[in-house]
Structure 1
Amino acid sequence: MEYQFIRDPLSGFRARFNDEHALIGRWLSEELDHNSVRVLISQLEALSFQKEELILTGKEIRATFTPQEALFESHALFHESEDVMQYQEDALALDESGMMAICGYEDFMPMLKEWAEFIRAK
């Protein structure tokens, strides 16, 4: 997983990821409250000892954390097929690429801790 953290004077902090994990970058930059990153890290460390999952539903992205991995899904994936079918006559279709990203904790947790340090060092 390749990523880069950027300080943008106009939009604040941004995370840019490779295409396969771009949704994670959007989630970090747009959905995750900067004040709750440390709390999330603690919750995820505790999750590894449990059989439950943690679901965070944002404005555009749902993050599901299981004891094994982090799954990010765009809300657009959950539209009913009838909703999408109405655009078929206009030759429009839902492009599902980039609408889901999966990451194991061996990559995700170090990255999340780096993000926490990056946004803390304002």
Structure 2
Amino acid sequence: MEYQFIRDPISGFRVKMSAEHELVGRWLNDELEHAALPGLLARLKEIKATRDEFCLEGREVRLIVSHQEALFEAHDLYHEQTDALSAYSDDALALEEHGLSAGCGFEDFEALLLDWQDFIRRRR
């Protein structure tokens, strides 16, 4: 998983991710509050020990973490078609599912969060 951390003077701390992990970057930039990071890292330690899993429902992205992987799913992935949307079927429009889900291994996710925490601490 490739990423680059940036400290933008306008938008604050940001991460740029590779295209296949774009949703992970979106979650980190828009969903995870800096104050919640230590608690999340503590949960990851529990996951290692218990082999349990947990789910975090964000505003736009759901995170599901098990001892093997972290799975990110945009809520748009579960968008049900309505009558209003079916009116566009003649135009051959469809929900673009690319970028609506992403995943990574548990260790990669933990390393990303530790690097993110370190970056934020050094730049404050």
Mark yes or no: TM-score above 0.5: yes
Deviations 1:21-59 (A, max 9, x none): 111111111000110111101101111222432111111
Aligned-partner residue type, residue 112 of structure 2: M
- 1:13-92 to structure 2, matched below 5 A, reads 13-82=13-82, 85-92=86-93
TM-score by length of 2: 0.90
Size of the aligned set, in residue pairs, is 122
TM-score by length of 1: 0.91
Percent identity between matched residues is: 49
Relative to 1, partners in 2 of residues 1:105 and 1:51: Cα closer, same or farther, differing over 3 Å?
closer
Unmatched 5+ stretches in structure 1: none
CA distance in 2, matches of 1:116, 1:49: 22
CA RMSD across the alignment: 1.5
Equivalent residue number for residue 112 of structure 1: 113
